[in-house]
């Protein structure tokens, strides 16, 4: 089967969607399909540019490529699903959340002017049309499926996918809590720094880079966390696998995250996950007191949870092993089987 | 975003005033709403869009339509047939010429001649005798930048009349069911009918059907709640059908609290009408919230109710027979009543939730206030890019771009 995987591209940025789609293409090819990635740059500002940039996808002709038919397209996130194709399958990572749940929050994009309000509504209308055309509609998590249904009335089958392929292993339950994430406000890494400020024994390694890095480093300096908090920046796959292998636990608590590969990666390294009650997707994976600890989004509670794991390393190991069993259930064979059935 | 809100408001005795009282708190959680004082003809300064609630009653809505004629905006069309309103705003203001003009504008020379006939008292007033044939809705639609309607029926009527703007179908909101104490005015099975008692509510047919059902189920009582229209001889009809002594329980106008209690104390709710003015029914919405199985006429908005919640009676020669069978089914089958009641509660929660309705209003108002500017911006952006690479407006490529834009509802 000839499959085109569709991915909007933000130049110079790389995150979960890029890892997911690259891997999807590899896994499709490994199963004998002729798969390729189709990528179009996406800029969502200013004003109505979010709509005209989305419209670029509509002008693509992906029925065939150089005489070779494209049997199926797999769109992943806004606005790639605006494309036209007789067999458009959508494996939804997320919609344009600024037009939905992030509207009116500090992470929102649209102001109170009539034009801004109308742009937001037009994005929603575009979603209803474009997603409504899909021949199959999947969402990477229950959280994403629920947001889709409440915003458009469309129902998606939940189809999780495995994380990136690293040399996952567990070497020890060391002294530091690991954060793996792009550094932006929605990922709420500042909460972990505030927890470290409350617990002098809490050590933290922050892997990843992003626009919030300067602010986070300033918070660390303001709290005198130098020496206990290390900003590792963007790390190689080997380094990341090594950090997972040596950490005590993995912190992952964005605000209402779509799904989150990091908990699955932590589990494959047999590490417990620290998350919060409002983190969204991760709560579909992490079970409080069984594979991690789920606390309210409060620095004090987070500090106490990290301290408890430090004092109960056997339990931390037990949580990690339970997590590994959860992660083992999410396989590419199952995902691709359902995607193309 | 600021919205100027034109509507009758309590304590006015109007279904639309009650509607606005229910909707406004939910709407205010989403928009900056300024309720315009009755009689004012202009929106407050600084508002981004005006919203006009329009119904067929000139006493309640004439001032609102006056304001609409001064400044176009989004119209909530509670009734499609507006002949009575137009008559009130023209003939009722001793401006026969305006009535002649309105009729001619919409129905041509024939319309003008008919209007002359009305003004000269040679034919009965059309707003009483044939309003549905001459709805005069353009009197309002011509000034609307967009329409909010409660049913697909009215949406289709507006489109068929040539209305070119956006139309949003927004369900009627359901009132929250508070502490309702059921009041049963009779022992046995009670069929409740709530609203004005007259021929267009099919009361004659309902009385005949009740008499038929009582032949096999003498314990059944019909509860009629609402004022009797002048000229409708209810008592004589009851006597003729043998329902005067027992069989019908009569209660006149009931306040809101009493209405809820009587409805809660009924086993079945009947809401029939023909002809329809394209309106929804607050009584039906209340009955849904209370989980009452419904019997309605198969017309207009009522036809759009799911079959799970309502038995629908076609108007026509067989109306009484079908109605009798429907009532017979409901009074004899508790399981059917329960299933329909559960479906009704579910529908009220799902479709008619006031928060959902307010969200749909907000979407409509936001699209209306800023939609044109956004469409212009999208078209400008796309056409500039096309022009830069030599695609002119009449090129085949430009036509394809336009087609693709239309597919995803951009640029409109």
pLDDT digits (tens, 9 = 90+) for A28-50: 999 999 999 999 999 999 999 99
> Each residue of A235-252: pLDDT tens digit?
999 999 999 999 999 999
- Confirm whether A340 is domain-assigned: no
- What's the mean pLDDT in B109-135? 95
CATH, domain range B2-169 = 3.40.50
> Each residue of B370-393: pLDDT tens digit?
999 999 999 999 999 999 999 988
Domain boundary residue, one of A126, A159, A192: A159
CATH, domain range B190-351 = 3.40.50.2000
- Confirm whether A134 is domain-assigned: yes
User: What was the pLDDT predicted at B219?
Assistant: 94
User: How confident is residue A14, by pLDDT bands cut at 50, 70 and 90?
Assistant: confident
> Each residue of A274-290: pLDDT tens digit?
999 999 999 999 999 99
CB contact under 8 A, B378 and A116: no
Tokens found for residue A117:
């309000």
Closest Cβ–Cβ partner in B49, B373, B382 for A52: B382
> Each residue of A178-225: pLDDT tens digit?
999 999 898 999 999 999 999 999 999 999 999 999 999 999 999 999
CB contact under 8 A, A55 and B363: no
Question: What angle in degrees, to the nearest 10, is found between the helix axes of B396-407 and A49-58?
Answer: 110
- Confirm whether A167 is domain-assigned: no
- What 8-state DSSP symbol labels residue B141? H
Would an 8 Å CB–CB cutoff place A58 in contact with chain B?
A: yes
A295 shares a domain with A219:
yes
Report the gap between the CA of A98 and the closest CA in chain B (Å).
16
Same topology, domains B2-169 and B190-351? Answer is: yes
CB contact under 8 A, B374 and A118: yes
Lowest mean pLDDT segment, chosen from A9-18, A35-44, B163-172, B264-273:
A9-18
SS3 for B262-308, per residue? HHHCCCEEEECCCCCCCCCCHHHHHHHHHCCCEEEECCHHHHCCCCC
- What's the mean pLDDT in B178-204? 93
Nearest residue on chain A to B49, judged by CA atoms? Answer: A114
- Give how far the C-alpha of residue B392 lies from the chain's centroid of Cα atoms, to the nearest Å: 47
A6 shares a domain with A125:
yes
CB contact under 8 A, A84 and B407: yes
Which CATH number goes with the domain that contains A106?
A: 3.40.50.2000
Report the gap between the CA of B288 and the closest CA in chain A (Å).
22
* A145/A147 Cα distance (integer angstroms): 5
* Residue A258 pLDDT exceeds 90: no
Neighbours of B207 (CB within 10 A): 22
User: How confident is residue B312, by pLDDT bands cut at 50, 70 and 90?
Assistant: very high
- What's the mean pLDDT in B127-154? 95
Q: Is A296 exposed, middle or buried (0-12, 13-18, 19+ CB in 10 A)?
A: exposed
Domain boundary residue, one of A159, A191, A211: A159
User: What was the pLDDT predicted at B253?
Assistant: 87
Nearest residue on chain B to A128, judged by CA atoms? Answer: B408
Tell me if B65 sits within 8 A of B89, measured CB to CB: yes
Tokens found for residue A179:
């954060």
Report the gap between the CA of A136 and the closest CA in chain B (Å).
19
**Biggest CA-to-CA distance, chain A:** 64
CB contact under 8 A, A122 and B48: no
A61 shares a domain with A24:
yes
* Residue A16 pLDDT exceeds 90: no
Give the bridge partners for A7, in sequence order.
Answer: A39
- The count of domains in chain A is 2
Domain range for A205 is 176-328
Q: Is B136 exposed, middle or buried (0-12, 13-18, 19+ CB in 10 A)?
A: buried
- Confirm whether A94 is domain-assigned: yes
* A327/A227 Cα distance (integer angstroms): 33
ipTM of predicted assembly, 2 dp: 0.81
Question: What angle in degrees, to the nearest 10, is found between the helix axes of B334-351 and B319-332?
Answer: 100
* Residue A259 pLDDT exceeds 90: no
Tell me if A323 sits within 8 A of A298, measured CB to CB: no
A84 shares a domain with A143:
yes
A46 shares a domain with A142:
yes
Q: Domain ranges for chain B, please list them.
A: 2-169, 190-351
User: How confident is residue B343, by pLDDT bands cut at 50, 70 and 90?
Assistant: very high
- What's the mean pLDDT in B264-293? 94
A233 shares a domain with A142:
no
Domain boundary residue, one of A159, A192, A215: A159
Q: In whole angstroms, how far apart are CA B180 and each of A3, A102, B260, B265? A: 59, 39, 7, 10
CB contact under 8 A, A120 and B382: no
Q: Is B120 exposed, middle or buried (0-12, 13-18, 19+ CB in 10 A)?
A: exposed
Chain A residues with CB under 8 Å of B405 CB are 55, 58
β-strand pairing of A68-69 with A64-65: antiparallel
User: How confident is residue B186, by pLDDT bands cut at 50, 70 and 90?
Assistant: confident
Neighbours of A299 (CB within 10 A): 18
Please tell me whether the peptide bond between B231 and the residue prior to it is cis, using omega within 30 degrees of 0.
no
Q: In whole angstroms, how far apart are CA A134 and each of A64, A83, A99, A137? A: 18, 10, 20, 6
Question: Which of A53, A54, A99, A114 is best to mutate for the B interface (most B CBs within 10 A)?
Answer: A114
- Confirm whether A164 is domain-assigned: no
Report the gap between the CA of B374 and the closest CA in chain A (Å).
6
* B357/B354 Cα distance (integer angstroms): 5
CB contact under 8 A, A117 and B369: yes
* Residue B401 pLDDT exceeds 90: yes
Would an 8 Å CB–CB cutoff place A45 in contact with chain B?
A: no
> Each residue of B35-57: pLDDT tens digit?
999 999 999 999 999 999 999 99
A116 shares a domain with A182:
no
């Amino acid at each position: 089967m000839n499959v085109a995987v569709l991915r909007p591209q933000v130049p110079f940025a790389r995150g979960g969607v890029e890892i997911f789609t690259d891997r999807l293409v590899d896994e499709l090819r490994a199963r004998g399909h002729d798969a390729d990635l189709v990528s179009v740059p996406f800029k969502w500002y200013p004003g109505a540019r979010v709509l005209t940039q989305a419209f670029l996808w509509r002008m693509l002709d992906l029925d065939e490529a150089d005489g070779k038919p494209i049997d199926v397209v797999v769109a992943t996130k806004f606005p790639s699903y605006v494309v036209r194709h007789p067999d458009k399958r959508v494996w939804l990572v997320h919609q344009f959340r600024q037009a939905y749940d992030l509207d009116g929050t500090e992470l929102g994009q649209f102001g109170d002017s009539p034009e801004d309000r109308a742009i937001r509504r037009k994005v929603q209308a575009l979603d209803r049309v474009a997603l409504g055309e899909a021949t199959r509609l999947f969402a990477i998590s229950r959280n994403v499926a629920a947001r889709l249904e409440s915003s458009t009335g469309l129902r998606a089958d939940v189809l999780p996918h495995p994380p990136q392929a690293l040399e996952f292993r567990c070497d020890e339950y060391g002294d530091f809590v690991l954060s793996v994430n792009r550094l932006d406000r929605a990922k709420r890494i500042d909460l972990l720094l505030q927890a470290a400020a409350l617990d002098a024994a809490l050590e933290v390694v922050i892997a990843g880079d992003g626009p919030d890095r300067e602010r986070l480093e300033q918070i660390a300096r303001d709290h005198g966390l130098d020496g206990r908090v290390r900003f590792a920046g963007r790390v190689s796959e080997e380094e990341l696998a090594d950090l997972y292998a040596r950490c005590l636990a993995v912190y992952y608590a964005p605000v209402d995250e779509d799904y989150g590969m990091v908990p699955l990666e932590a589990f494959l390294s047999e590490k417990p996950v620290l998350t919060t009650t409002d983190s969204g997707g991760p709560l579909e994976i992490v079970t409080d007191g069984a594979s991690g600890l789920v606390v309210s989004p409060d620095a004090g509670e987070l500090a106490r949870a990290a301290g408890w794991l430090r004092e109960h390393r056997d339990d931390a190991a037990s949580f990690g092993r339970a997590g590994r069993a959860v992660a083992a259930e999410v396989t590419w064979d199952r995902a691709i089987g359902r995607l193309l059935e | 975003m600021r919205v100027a809100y034109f509507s009758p408001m309590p304590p006015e005795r109007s279904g639309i005033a009650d509607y606005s009282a229910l909707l406004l708190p939910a709407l205010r959680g989403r928009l900056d709403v300024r309720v315009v004082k009755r009689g004012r003809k202009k929106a407050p300064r600084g508002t981004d869009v005006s919203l006009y609630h329009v119904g067929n009653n000139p006493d309640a809505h004439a001032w609102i339509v006056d304001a609409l004629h001064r400044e176009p905006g989004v119209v909530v069309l509670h009734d499609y047939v507006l002949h009575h309103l137009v008559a009130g705003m023209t003939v009722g203001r001793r401006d026969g010429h305006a009535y002649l003009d309105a009729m001619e504008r919409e129905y041509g020379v024939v319309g003008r001649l008919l209007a002359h006939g009305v003004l000269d008292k040679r034919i009965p007033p059309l707003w009483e005798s044939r309003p549905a044939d001459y709805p005069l809705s353009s009197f309002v639609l011509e000034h609307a930048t967009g329409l909010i309607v409660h049913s697909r029926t009215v949406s289709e009527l507006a489109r068929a009349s040539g209305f070119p703007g956006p139309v949003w179908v927004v369900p009627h909101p359901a009132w929250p069911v508070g502490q309702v104490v059921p009041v049963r005015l009779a022992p046995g099975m009670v069929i409740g009918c709530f609203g004005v008692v007259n021929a267009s509510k099919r009361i004659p047919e309902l009385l005949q059907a009740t008499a038929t059902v009582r032949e096999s189920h003498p314990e059944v009582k019909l509860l009629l709640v609402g004022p009797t229209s002048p000229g409708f001889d209810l008592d004589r009809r009851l006597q003729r059908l043998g329902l005067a002594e027992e069989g019908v329980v009569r209660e006149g106008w009931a306040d809101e609290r009493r209405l809820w209690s009587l409805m809660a104390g009924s086993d079945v709710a009947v809401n029939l009408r023909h002809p329809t003015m394209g309106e929804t029914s607050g009584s039906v919405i209340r009955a849904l919230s209370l989980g009452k199985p419904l019997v309605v006429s198969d017309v207009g908005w009522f036809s759009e109710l799911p079959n799970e919640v309502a038995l629908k009676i076609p108007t026509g020669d067989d109306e009484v027979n079908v109605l009798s069978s429907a009532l017979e089914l409901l009074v004899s089958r508790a399981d059917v009543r329960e299933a329909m009641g559960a479906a009704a509660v579910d529908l009220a929660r799902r479709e008619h939730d006031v928060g959902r309705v307010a969200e749909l209003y907000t979407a409509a108002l936001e699209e209306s206030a800023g939609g044109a500017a956004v469409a212009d911006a999208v078209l400008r952006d796309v056409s500039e890019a096309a022009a830069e690479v030599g695609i002119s407006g009449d090129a085949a490529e430009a036509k394809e771009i336009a087609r693709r834009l239309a597919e995803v509802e951009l640029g409109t």
